[in-house]
A and B are shown apart, each in its own frame.
Chain A
Amino acid sequence: AQSVTQLDSHVSVSEGTPVLLRCNYSSSYSPSLFWYVQHPNKGLQLLLKYTSAATLVKGINGFEAEFKKSETSFHLTKPSAHMSDAAEYFCVVLGGSYIPTFGRGTSLIVHP
């Protein structure tokens, strides 16, 4: 069994300040973990993924995430938010099957 919890439905930041989107997971197997971004009226785009290699994963657009097994977390961070980062972000877990489980999503709001 696998599940994923995104702890915040909305995160609001000012442009130029750090971003933290939180994700906790559970899985009976060593999981693969992903972050996807969905801009308005667009499809989902893969930001980054963890697949049992380095625990700190760097993705596109300056995002990175750290896999912490002891905390069962995979939080997404970015040092400095940009207006174009405003979007919906989904944390996804894949463990033991080909069917991923999506979190409910976190809406990132970036203020000028």
Chain B
Amino acid sequence: SAVISQKPSRDICQRGTSLTIQCQVDSQVTMMFWYRQQPGQSLTLIATANQGSEATYESGFVIDKFPISRPNLTFSTLTVSNMSPEDSSIYLCSVDAGTSSDEQYFGPGTRLTVT
């Protein structure tokens, strides 16, 4: 299994500012995913990030609001731009378990509160 860490674990931010969340994996992985979990809700996929290519965004999410970087096979960042209170959520990164498995491993999440 992969061990995933995220920074920061939580933050309280002002409206209109931006926050960059880091995701670090202890092994090289092909695909990394970013999810949003709004209060009391399930997980919604924001985008898929493959190293060396542009992230693929799901319906309702755009690059200008959620720019993603994937500079190598063990690291990715998600930026939440121009934040509003509606962006208050838990943001989770995950990785695929490998070509022989279709499960995902999840990071501990970043709890974001926008005031």
Binding site for B on A (CB under 8 A): 32, 34, 36, 41-46, 49, 51, 90, 94, 98-100, 102-105
Contact = CB atoms under 8 A, between A and B. Distances in A.
Interface stretch (B13-21, B60-68, B71-79, B103-111): B103-111
Secondary structure at chain B's binding surface: helix, strand, loop or mixed? Answer: strand
Interface residues of B, number: 21
Most buried by A among B41, B102, B109, B111: B102
Given A99-B58, A105-B42, 10 more contacts: A32-B102, A32-B103, A43-B106, A43-B108, A43-B109, A44-B92, A45-B106, A46-B103, A46-B105, A98-B96
Interface of B: 4, 31, 41-45, 48, 58, 92, 94, 96, 102-109, 111
Nearest to A90: B42
